Amino acid sequence: MSDRTRMQGTVGTYDTATRTGTVLLDDGTELAFDAEAFAAGGLRLLRLGQRVNLAVEGGRITVVTLSTFPLPD
């Protein structure tokens, strides 16, 4: 059984060189994402303030994608 949680947030920071950044959840919590999580969502770039869907496992963001895209299974 997976402990994968799906949620939404807003892009707080994004570094185009490293493809890493942070997301602000609706409760104000800030979570960091790495290049692997960014790549898993099939994105090319993000903008500050953009709404995103997230998959979180074990306290780590594993997928970041646009709110208009479904999260991969």
Average pLDDT on 11-23 reads 97
Q: What is the DSSP letter of 42?
A: T
* pTM beyond 0.85: yes
Which H helix or E strand runs over 67? none
pLDDT confidence of residue 1: 42
Asked if residue 34 has pLDDT above 70, the reply is yes
pLDDT band at 41 (very low <50, low <70, confident <90, very high): very high
Which amino acid is it at 41?
G
